[in-house]
Amino acid sequence: QKEVEQDPGPLSVPEGAIVSLNCTYSNSAFQYFMWYRQYSRKGPELLMYTYSSGNKEDGRFTAQVDKSSKYISLFIRDSQPSDSATYLCAMSGKGAGSYQLTFGKGTKLSVIP
Amino acid sequence: EAQVTQNPRYLITVTGKKLTVTCSQNMNHEYMSWYRQDPGLGLRQIYYSMNVEVTDKGDVPEGYKVSRKEKRNFPLILESPSPNQTSLYFCASIRRGGPEAREQYFGPGTRLTVT
């Protein structure tokens, strides 16, 4: 079983829809949970990070972590065509391990005008 | 502007010809890392460095070398490139902002083709 599982999609939604992106993981040592957005031919950029469990909101984006289920989610409200990108989840452990990220393979999202 | 830069951005080379991909960050970050990204395999860590003169292997270190002589620079060296090293490479650095902050900044990527 891979450490981090992420549905590669592609996922296509109409503009204005609520998008739900998810990852599951198996390593209970993971403490830091991140979402990155990667546009075509660009490097990943950090969207949100969460330490341990809980929710975090930033504008149209909400990140949720459920450590009991080993499941993390990213919600995008009022999706825009500019949100079309590949979304990567990433996780890391505590201490020195917090610097070694394990990535999901990414979900490709298209928001159709 | 805070950034991670990589050079070259594109490189086509032949098997066995040594090459170096440079990486530099202007954020005074201690931690830097190299990844490769391949279709269907995602981002995989090659090497990382916790500080000057401190480096360690990631998940896929075979065929690569790194050095960290200065805090800002972290070059990736391919002593004898092979076609299976054809990939998109990213350098990254992490801001150490306290126990809850591990913000990682990526460079723009280097697309390497080995024929």
Inter-chain CB proximity B40 and A105 less than 8 Å? yes
CA–CA distance from B7 to each of A54, A57, B19, B23, B46 (Å)? 39, 36, 11, 7, 17
Nearest residue on chain B to A9, alpha-carbon basis? B40
A106 touches chain B (CB under 8 A): yes
- Tell me how many degrees the CA angle A92-A93-A97 measures, rounded to the nearest 5: 95
A44 touches chain B (CB under 8 A): yes
Residue A96's pLDDT is what?
66
CB contacts of A108 in chain B (<8 Å) are none
Asked if A12 and A24 touch (Cβ cutoff 8 Å), the reply is no
Residue A22's pLDDT is what?
97
The CA distance from A13 to B49, in Å, is 40
Nearest residue on chain A to B111, alpha-carbon basis? A41
A109 touches chain B (CB under 8 A): no
Residue B98 has pLDDT above 80, yes or no: no
Nearest residue on chain B to A53, alpha-carbon basis? B100
CB contacts of A105 in chain B (<8 Å) are 40-42
Asked if B91 and B76 touch (Cβ cutoff 8 Å), the reply is yes
Alpha-carbon distance B49 to nearest alpha carbon in chain A (angstroms): 10
Instruction: State the sign of the Cα–Cα–Cα–Cα dihedral A105, A99, A3, A36.
Output: negative
Alpha-carbon distance B104 to nearest alpha carbon in chain A (angstroms): 7
Inter-chain CB proximity B102 and A32 less than 8 Å? yes
Alpha-carbon distance A44 to nearest alpha carbon in chain B (angstroms): 6
Q: What is the pLDDT of residues B51-62, one digit of tens each?
A: 999 999 998 999
Residue A58's pLDDT is what?
92
Q: Mean pLDDT, to the nearest integer, of A87-111?
A: 87
Asked if B66 and B15 touch (Cβ cutoff 8 Å), the reply is no
Q: Give the best residue of B3, B27, B43, B111 to mutate against chain A (max A CB count within 10 A).
A: B43
Q: What is the pLDDT of residues A7-34, one digit of tens each?
A: 888 999 999 999 999 999 999 989 889 9
Inter-chain CB proximity A49 and B109 less than 8 Å? no
Q: What is the pLDDT of residues B63-97, one digit of tens each?
A: 999 999 999 999 999 999 999 999 999 999 987 76
Where would I find the beta strands (DSSP E) of chain A?
4-6, 11-14, 19-25, 32-38, 45-51, 54-58, 61-66, 71-76, 85-92, 102-103, 107-112
CA–CA distance from B43 to each of A16, A78, B109 (Å)? 30, 28, 12
Inter-chain CB proximity A103 and B43 less than 8 Å? yes
Burial of B38 (0-12, 13-18, 19+ CB in 10 A): middle
Inter-chain CB proximity A106 and B33 less than 8 Å? no
Q: What is the pLDDT of residues A32-89, one digit of tens each?
A: 899 999 999 899 998 988 888 889 999 999 999 999 999 999 999 999 999 999 999 9
